[in-house]
């Protein structure tokens, strides 16, 4: 069963349900030229109890419906053709659990909840926590969900970058419950209606696994001009099972398989790191946009990958590399 409510039926003690409420009007009067960001076109909020019911509602009219998780992107980017929001609060699992297979993260878990979870804090030597601390601001992390961050697939997403280098699997429902490798999930993003994400699973990694993350932005809370991450098993200085990814190019984050192959079974010396960084800068799919040029992004890629690999190698004095 699902619960459906029109905005006209909202209780009188919930004035913020309407995006054109008094508070919004006051802001427009005060700031004048601020673009109206609101949900005045939303007519229904439906709250299904099962994934199958949520999927049926979403696919019944794809152009007029959207899933609602944390709601940040719904407020900012929902087109006016959308009239119905499908509230996932009864469907999305919240919480983090660990077993011998790895870490399971419910799609309804906020980024702050994940960051505060004991299991996530120590994952791959604290790598996951390091990434999460760099995502937006604390206030936004209190609202944004893991499922929403994974589903929206913003090119600058730090979360998706981490998912790729951690070999994440995305548990989805699109009429059938299934698990899809993150790289495969994002390669298939062209489909009309993206599957409903129910959880993200990070497979267990050996104790030798290490991770490093670099993000370049104008401010601490700004979206990155470019971000990059590396995860590898480092045993007696030798690199194995390397995962290297770059995002915000300005395309969606992608793994650099040629760099990963180059690093396999090599000692992480300064020379190896320098060669890998140059290779990454040469092959990354960088392009111009209004925020940065292709040339600058290639430079950032080389610097970022060099810093990440230097951290994995435990080499002191990175600035001299």
Same domain, residue pair 281 and 310: yes
Q: What is the CATH number of the domain that holds 177?
A: 3.30.465.10
- Look at residues 125, 142, 106 and name the one whose alpha carbon lies nearest to residue 210: 125
Q: What is the structure's pLDDT at 320?
A: 38
Number of independent structural domains in the chain: 3
Name the domain boundary from 203, 228, 253.
203
Could you list the residue range(s) of the whole structural domain that residue 166 is in? 96-203
The dihedral built from the CA positions of residue 51, 11, 144 and 188, taken in this order, carries a sign that is positive
- Look at residue 101 in the predicted model and tell me its pLDDT: 95
Distance CA 254, CA 234 (A): 22
- Which two three-digit tokens encode residue 257? 């398989």
pLDDT at 91: 95
Given a contact cutoff of 8 angstroms between Cβ atoms, the answer to whether 148 and 70 are in contact is yes
CATH number at residue 310: 3.30.390.50
148 and 174 belong to one structural domain: yes
DSSP state of 98: E
Same domain, 150 and 80: no
Please identify, among 203, 234, 259, the residue that sits at the C-terminal boundary of a domain: 203
pLDDT at residue number 6:
44
Task: Report d(CA 184, CA 181) in Å as an integer.
Answer: 5
Written as six digits, the tokens of 202 are 């990070």
H or E segment to which residue 295 belongs: helix 294-313
pLDDT at 219: 84
Q: How far apart are CA 270 and CA 284, in angstroms?
A: 21
Residues 133 and 192 in one domain: yes
Token pair of 43 as six digits: 């007519």
Same domain, 242 and 287: yes
Asked if 197 and 103 sit in the same domain, the reply is: yes
**One domain for residues 104 and 193:** yes
CA pair distance 103, 210, nearest whole angstrom:
16
Q: Do residue 265 and residue 213 come from a single domain?
A: yes
Residue 92 main-chain phi, psi, to 5 deg: -75, 125
DSSP-derived secondary structure letter, 267: B
Angle (deg, nearest 10), helices 294-313 and 270-283: 150
Same domain, 229 and 295: yes
pTM of the model: 0.86
Per DSSP, the residues of 149-185 read HHHH--TT-HHHHHHHHTT-EEEEESSSEEEEEHHHH
Euclidean distance between CA atoms 114 and 103, whole angstroms:
11
Together in a domain, 191 and 174 = yes
Q: Do both 221 and 295 map to the same domain?
A: yes
pLDDT beneath 50: ranges in the chain: 5-34, 319-321
Query: Where do we find the tokens 């659990």?
Result: 97
d(CA 260, CA 127): 18
- Domain boundary (144, 176, 203) is at 203
Q: What is the pLDDT of residue 27?
A: 33
Quick one: 66 and 121 in the same domain?
A: no
**Can the peptide bond before residue 250 be classed as cis, meaning omega within 30 degrees of 0?**
yes
Cα 78 to the center of its chain, rounded Å = 18
């Amino acid at each position: 069963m699902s619960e459906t409510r029109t905005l006209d039926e909202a209780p009188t003690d919930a004035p913020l349900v309407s995006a054109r409420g008094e508070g919004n009007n006051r802001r427009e009067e005060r700031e004048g030229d601020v673009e109206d960001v609101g949900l005045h076109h939303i007519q229904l909020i439906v709250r299904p109890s099962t994934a199958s019911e949520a999927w049926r509602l979403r696919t019944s009219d794809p152009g007029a419906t959207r899933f609602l998780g944390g709601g940040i992107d719904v407020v900012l980017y929902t087109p006016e053709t959308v009239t119905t929001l499908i509230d996932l609060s009864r469907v999305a699992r919240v919480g983090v659990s660990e077993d011998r297979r790895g870490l399971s993260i419910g799609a309804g878990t906020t980024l702050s909840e994940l960051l505060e979870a004991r299991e996530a804090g120590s994952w791959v030597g604290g790598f996951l926590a390091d990434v999460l601390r760099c995502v937006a601001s604390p206030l936004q992390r209190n609202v944004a969900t893991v499922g929403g961050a994974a589903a929206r697939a913003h090119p600058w997403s730090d979360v998706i970058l981490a998912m790729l280098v951690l070999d994440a699997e995305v548990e989805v429902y699109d009429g059938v419950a299934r698990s899809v490798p993150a790289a495969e999930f994002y390669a298939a993003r062209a489909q009309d209606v993206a599957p409903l994400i129910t959880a993200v699973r990070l497979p267990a990694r050996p104790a030798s696994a290490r991770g490093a993350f670099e993000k370049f932005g104008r401010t601490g809370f700004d979206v990155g001009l470019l971000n990059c991450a590396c995860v590898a098993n480092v045993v007696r200085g030798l690199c194995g099972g390397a995962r290297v990814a770059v995002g915000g190019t300005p395309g969606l984050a992608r793994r650099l398989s040629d760099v990963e192959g180059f690093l396999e079974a090599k000692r992480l010396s300064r020379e190896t790191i320098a060669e890998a960084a140059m290779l990454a800068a040469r092959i990354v799919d960088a392009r111009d946009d209004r925020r940065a040029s292709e040339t600058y992004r290639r430079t950032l890629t080389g610097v970022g990958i060099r810093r990440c690999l230097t951290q994995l190698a435990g080499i002191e004095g990175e600035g001299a590399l």
